[in-house]
Chain A
Amino acid sequence: MEKEMNVTDNDNFDTMADQELIVLRKTISVDQKFATGPVMGKFLTALKDKRILAIQCPECGRLQSPPREMCAICRVRNREWVEIGPRGEMRMMEYCYYSSPDPLTGESRETPYGAIGILLDGCQKEEVFWHLLRPEHLEMVEMGIVMGDRVTRGTRLRPVWAQERSGSIDDIKYFEIDE
C-alpha cells in the first residue's frame, strides 16, 4: 500500500490497477438471548411434559402453534389454549440437499434432511406444525394434498421426544412414521 491513491479521478479505475487490493476476513461469534414472553413460554413449558399446545383466535377460530399473542388477521388477543396432536399427517416437506447454517449453533446442517409441515390431529386447513422428519424416513413419506375436491391423505407421523427436555424446539427430536 505504498502508492498514493488517485482519489480525485473517479472515472479512471485503471490508475488503481496496480494498487494492492486487500480483503480482510473476520469471523464473529455473538451470544444472544431472547425472552419468550408468557404465551410462547407456556407452549415451550408444555413440551417438557410431551404436550403440544395451540392457541385459538376468539374471532376466526384458527389455531396457531407455535402460539402467537395475537391473531394478526383479526387483530385480537388470543386467549384459549387447545392441546393438539401429538400425532398428525404429513402435509409438506422441504427435502433439503443444500447445507445451510444453523444460526443456533453456527454449524452447517447435515444433509439431506426434511423440514416438514404436519397437520396435527385437531387442526385443519393451514394449521400445520413446522418441525423435522426422521432422516431415515425421507424417502418413505407422502405429502397430503387438498385441491378443490381432490384430497389425498399424507403419511401418519408421530413425534419422537428427547430424553432430556428443556422447553425448546429440541424437546422433539423429529417426527417419524406412525404406521
Chain B
Amino acid sequence: MGFKKKNRHVGIVGIGETKFSSHREDVNQPEMIHEAVKDALEDAGLTMDDIDCVVHGNMELFEMVHQPDLWHTLGTGARGKDAFRLTTGGTTGGTLVGAADNLVAAGMYDTVLAIGFEKLQEGHTTGGITNMADPLWARKLQSGALTDSAAVKAIAEFGPDRAKKAAMLYRIIMDKHACLNPNSHRAFGLDWDQMADLMENSPPLIGDLRLIHMCSQSDGACAMILSSEEKAKQQCDHPVWIRDHITIHREETLNLCVNHYPNETTHRFAARHLYERNGITDPLDYFDVFEMYDPSAWWGADWIRDFFLLEGDAHYRLIEEKEIMRGGKMPINPSGGVLAANPIGATAMVRVAEAAKQVRGNAGPHQIPGTVNHAIASSFGGTMWTILIMLEKELNW
C-alpha cells in the first residue's frame, strides 16, 4: 500500500454533537447542523473566522436533497470559505474526519471543520440504501441495510445457543452504555433477565436478525474541528491527536455463501495494516477504548474478532465475560454505539468524537473509569468498507 507518513501532526480541538432522536421536526436541516457546529465552535473556543475550510457530508439518497451543502451553508457557516462535500454512505462520517485529517496534515489548511449529518425521518432509509445496489440485478433482491448473514455465519460456527446469547448479551451491554449517554436516541433500560424473552419475542426482520438487534434511524449532526499541531496547541490545552487513519474499500459484491474460506474482511485487512505500520503488536492490550460502528448486535459481536485480530472464540469470551463493558478489559462503545443512535452521515463521525471525548476525559456521564491514552474508532458502510482512526492523548509516538 502506498502509505506515507503525515507531513505534520493533526489534533482535534473541538467536538459538537446534537441530541439524537427519531423526531427533530422542531428544526430543519440547516438549523440542526447549526446546533452541532455551534457546539463544536464553543467547545474549541473558536469562531467561524478561525475556520479555513469546511468538509460536509451525508448520504443524499436518504433525504433526496441533492447538493444539500448549498441549503446547509446557513448552518455550516461555509459561505465565503473553501468547502468540500463528501458522501460515502455509512462511512461518510469517517471519510469526513479522514479527509479533514489529510487536508490539515498536507498543509493545505490549518483548521478544518468537518460536519456529518442525517435527518432520516425526512426520507426513506431502506429505500435509499436499496438504491445503492446495482440497478440491473441486485436492486430487486437487496433488503436495504438489513441482512442475516452475520447471524447465519455465527450460528454455523458456534451453534444457535451460544451465538444467539452472545448477540443478545452484546445488545444489552450496549443498551446499558446507552442509558448513561444523554445524547442517545434509544436507551431502553434493558436488563440481563430479559435476554430469553427478547431472543424469542422481538419481531424478526430477516432470519435471526430481530428488531432489538438492529440500529435505529435517527436524526442528528456531529461536527469536529481539526487543526495543525502548531495551531492546535495555541487553540486548545489538550488536543486529541489523530495518529493515523486507514480507509479500505472493496468491490460491490456481497458475500452470499455460508463458508469460511480464508477471505479476509476489510475490517481485518484495515486493522492488520494499521497496526503493522504503527508497530502495535497487541491491539487488545494497547487500546483503552474502542468506538465501533456496529449496525447490529450480530455484526458488533462478530467484528470484535476482526478489529482486534483475534482467532477462534476469543471475541465471544470478551462478550461473555463482559470485558467489553465500561470498566472491562476493552470497553466497546461507552456511548452505546450505533445501536443507541444512527444518524447515518454523522454516525461514523460520532464514533471518532466519542472516542476523542473519552481521551479528553470529559465524555460526561458515560466517561469510562481510568485514563484513556489510546483510542480507536471504526466506520462501516457500503458492502463491507472500513475506516479505522487512531487517537492518542500524548504526542509521543
Query: Contact: A91 with B64, CB < 8 Å?
Result: no
Asked whether A141 is an interface residue with its Cβ less than 8 Å from the other chain, the reply is: no
Shortest distance from the beta carbon of A58 to any chain B beta carbon, whole Å:
17
In contact, A130 and B137 (Cβ under 8 angstroms): yes
Does chain B have a CB within 8 A of A136?
no
Q: Which residue of A lies closest to B249 (CB)?
A: A72
Cβ B126 vs Cβ A28 within 8 A: no
A158, B247: Cα distance in complex, Å: 40
Partner of B257, one of A21, A28, A128: A128
- B136 near A101 with CB under 8 A, answer no
A148 engages B152 (CB within 8 Å): no
Q: How many residues of B contact A (CB 8 A)?
A: 45
The smallest C-beta distance from A152 to any residue of chain B, in angstroms, reads 9
Contact assessment for B146 and A100 in the assembled complex, using a CB-CB cutoff below 8 Å: yes
Is A145 within 8 A of B258, CB to CB?
Answer: yes
Given A91-B257, A100-B144, A146-B260, A72 and B26 touching (CB < 8 A)? Answer: no
**How far does the alpha carbon of A168 sit from the alpha carbon of B140 in the complex, in Å?**
11
Q: How far is the CA of A21 from the CA of B130 in the complex (A)?
A: 31
Cβ 8 A contact of B143, one of A23, A68, A96, A146: A96
Point out the residues of chain A lying under 8 angstroms from B144, CB to CB: 100
For the complex, is B8 an interface residue (Cβ under 8 Å from A)?
A: no
Query: With a CB–CB cut-off of 8 A, which chain A residues contact B130?
Result: 100-103
- The B contact surface, by secondary structure, is loop
A21, B140: Cβ atoms closer than 8 Å? no
Which of A32-40, A48-56, A77-85 makes up part of the contact surface? A32-40
How many residues in A have their beta carbons less than 8 Å from beta carbons of B?
49
Q: Is B135 an interface residue (CB 8 A)?
A: yes
| Interface flag for B204 (CB, 8 Å) | yes
Task: Pick from A16, A66, A103, A147 the residue with the most CB of B within 10 Å.
Answer: A103
Residue of A66, A115, A131, A170 contacting most chain B CB atoms (<10 Å): A115
Using A103-B127, A169-B136 as known contacts, say yes or no to A97 and B258 having CB atoms under 8 A apart: no
Q: Which residues of A contact B29 (CB under 8 A)?
A: none
- Taking CB atoms and an 8 Å cut-off, the chain A residues in 49-93 that contact chain B are 64, 66, 68, 72-73, 91-93
> Is residue A104 within 8 Å, beta carbon to beta carbon, of the partner chain?
yes
Distance of A36 Cα from B135 Cα, bound (Å): 10
Known: A13-B26, A147-B156. Is A91-B258 also a contact (CB below 8 A)?
Answer: yes
Determine whether the beta carbon of B136 is less than 8 Å from that of A44: yes
- CB-defined contacts of B261 to chain A, threshold 8 Å: 125-126, 146
Q: Mark B120-142, 1 if CB is under 8 A from A, else 0.
A: 00001011001100111111111
Say yes or no: B141 contacts A132, CB within 8 Å. yes
Instruction: Give every chain A residue within 8 A of B204 (Cβ-Cβ).
Output: 97
CB within 8 Å of A: which of B248-263? 250-251, 253-261, 263
Asked if A93 and B34 make an inter-chain contact with CB atoms under 8 angstroms apart, the answer reads no
Taken together as a complex, chains A and B put the C-alpha atoms of A91 and B254 apart, in Å, by 13
With A68-B251, A98-B126, A169-B141 known, 8 other A-B pairs at CB within 8 A are A93-B152, A94-B143, A97-B204, A100-B146, A103-B139, A117-B256, A117-B257, A126-B255
Task: List B residues at the A interface (Cβ < 8 Å).
Answer: 25-26, 34, 38, 64, 124, 126-127, 130-131, 134-144, 146-149, 152, 156-157, 203-207, 250-251, 253-261, 263
**30 A-B pairs with C-beta separation under 8 A:** A13-B26, A32-B135, A34-B136, A44-B136, A64-B253, A66-B136, A72-B251, A73-B251, A91-B257, A91-B259, A92-B149, A94-B143, A96-B205, A97-B203, A101-B124, A101-B130, A102-B130, A102-B140, A103-B131, A104-B140, A115-B141, A117-B257, A119-B257, A128-B256, A143-B152, A145-B258, A146-B259, A146-B260, A169-B141, A170-B140
